[in-house]
Amino acid sequence: MPESVDQRGDELVEDEDDFEEEDEDLLDEDEEEDEDLEDEELAEEEGDEPEEADDPIADLLYEVVSRMGFRDVDIEWEEREDHVRYFIEGGELGALIGRHGSTLESLQYLVGVINSRRGLVEHKIIIDIEGYRERREARLRRLAQRTASEAVRDGQEIALEPMPSGDRRVIHLALSSNTAVTTYSEGEEPDRCVIVAPRRDRR
């Protein structure tokens, strides 16, 4: 077990909140939406280029947040090395982010479950709202580097505060190339946390 605990990660603790019951019915929907090809065929007959199809996850996100009462939003997406990141922008979306990002994490989980049920896309999905996740990931990377320095200096393992799997992944990746420390996760959800330990085999 670690000999010290970094209590400064309090601001990164996720307060996991569930969606309201009215949103849970999305998980039980097994609707198969028929594609309307008539307009595309007509466009081809007239020599026009058919419009580019919308992203199914972006459509799903708009459906979910609209049901939650957030209708004046824009959703864009960006392909990254190992995932596609979806950005939700709009006015006064703080409630959609939630305390310490709890509603954002619930939205991330819900969309992932629906995608698995419906088989919409195969790529990894990451959702961000008004840049909150980008800022959070930057703070996590700084925390990782600071903790690694302390672990090496003191020669002791340091346990960070419990955090969701996505945040733990950021910590692991941030320190993956650091030859002075190693990281691993310990505990059971929702109390699972990252341990940052100095490498004992360093010369």
Q: What is the CATH code of the structural domain delimited by 14-133?
A: 3.30.300.20
CATH 3.30.1370.50 residue window(s) in the chain: 4-10+135-198
Count CB-CB contacts under 10 A for residue 5.
Answer: 14
Q: Which residue has the higher pLDDT, 15 or 123?
A: 123
Span 160-202, pLDDT tens digits: 999 988 899 999 999 999 999 999 999 999 899 999 999 986 5
CATH 3.30.300.20 residue window(s) in the chain: 14-133
SS (H, E, C) the chain: CCCEECHHHHHHCCCCCCCCHHHHHHHHCCCCCCCCCHHHHHHHHCCCCCCCCCCHHHHHHHHHHHHCCCCCEEEEEEECCCCEEEEEEECCCHHHHCHHHHHHHHHHHHHHHHHHHHCCCCCCEEEEECCHHHHHHHHHHHHHHHHHHHHHHHCCCEECCCCCHHHHHHHHHHCCCCCCEEEEEECCCCCCEEEEEECCCCC
- What average pLDDT score do residues 8-12 get? 42
Domain formed by 4-10+135-198, architecture:
2-Layer Sandwich (3.30)
Note whether 11 and 100 are within 8 A (CB): yes
| Assigned token pair, 15 | 């307060």
Angle at which helices 102-118 and 21-28 pack, to 10 degrees? 20
Residue 82 is predicted with a pLDDT of 86
Span 45-98, pLDDT tens digits: 544 444 444 899 999 999 999 999 998 899 999 999 889 999 999 988 999 999
pTM for this structure? 0.69
